[in-house]
Amino acid sequence: MDDKKVLIVDDQNGIRILLMEVFSSEGYATFQASNGKLALEIVKKESPDLVLLDMKIPGMDGLEILKHVKAINREIKVIMMTAYGELDMIKEATELGALMHFTKPFDIDEMRIAVNMQLRGGESNSIYAIGS
C-alpha cells in the first residue's frame, strides 16, 4: 500500500505537532504548513490525499486556501478545523468541497477515525484492528 499523504495546515504550532504525531503513527506521510503560501507549495509538490485545514489562518484564510487547493486538484480531500461557530464559513467551505469540519478543541480520536475513513475506507492500524 502506498503511503497516503496528509497535510496539516494550522498557524498554531502545538496543533500541527499533535496532528503530525497522530497521523504519522497511523502510517501516513505527514506534511505541515503554518500558512497558505506554504500549504499550496506542498499541495503542488506532494499532492497530498487529504488536507486538514484550519479556517482561521492569518494572511490567506482557510476558505481561500480551500479554493486554491481545489483549483490545483479537485480530488484532494479537505477537512476543515474551525474555532468558533463560524457557520456561514462552514456552509461556504462545504459548497467549495470540504468534506466536514471539526470544531476546536476537537476530539483527536474522532478526527483520526474520520481521516482513516476517508483515506482507507474505514480500516485503521489502531489497536482495535488487531486480530481482525
pLDDT digits (tens, 9 = 90+) for 65-83: 999 999 999 999 999 999 8
Contact 31, 6 (CB under 8 A): yes
Range of the domain at 43: 5-129
The number of folded domains in the chain is: 1
Contact 83, 39 (CB under 8 A): no
Q: Tell me which amino acid residue 119 is.
A: L
CATH label of the domain that carries residue 70: 3.40.50.2300
pTM, entire model: 0.89
Tell me the pLDDT tens digit for each residue of 14-65. 999 999 999 999 999 999 999 999 999 999 999 999 999 999 999 999 999 9
